[in-house]
Amino acid sequence: MQARMSWRARIRSIVRYHNEVDFDLQGIDRRSKLLNRMGVKMWVLLVVLVASLVANAPAHADEPHALGERISGKLIRGMVNLSTGWIEVPRQIYEVGTHEGWVRGMLRGPFDGIGMFFARTVAGVVETATFPVPLPTYKPLLTPTYAWESEDPSDGMAADSK
């Protein structure tokens, strides 16, 4: 007949047959710290790799800008549009007010501005998320490129001719 074991003796026998690291809480902390350090190292390695690829990319003669300039331009444009989409609300009030009258500007402008706020913010998210890849392209998704630029092409030509 088998003698009755205390609960402490049972736990000791279980621990003996299993790997002690599985029950070692300090070991778990050490492993998680190691994994965190490895994750940070992997991110740093990835950033360095992408930066070296962008810096060493050859510029083609038919392309107006180097690949690195187009990638960084798309990232900057995306981040700017993501953070300044709210400017579209007062801008649309002003645009509608100057072209169609201030009563319409005050009534319809906020609705146009809210719509453009969402469009510019989504375009900023898409451009920021896809900056290293030409998806859909490296060209701006919205016209004008930034919220503070004028939509009127005659203003752009006047600025270019100066």
Query: pLDDT for 135-148, tens place per residue?
Result: 767 888 888 888 88
82 in a structural domain: yes
Question: Does residue 161 fall inside a structural domain?
Answer: no
pLDDT in tens, 78-101: 999 999 999 999 999 999 999 999
Predicted local confidence at residue 120, as pLDDT: 93
In the chain, how many domains are there? 2
Vertex 146 angle, CA 96 and 161, to 5° = 90
Dihedral sign for Cα atoms in the order 62, 64, 68, 70: negative
**Do both 91 and 26 map to the same domain?**
no
Tell me, yes or no, whether 47 and 70 share the same domain.
no
> pTM for the full model?
0.53
Q: Hey, what are 34's tokens?
A: 């190691």
**138: domain range?**
66-149
Q: Convert the pLDDT of each residue in 19-29 to its tens digit.
A: 555 555 555 56
Place of tokens 């510029």: 59
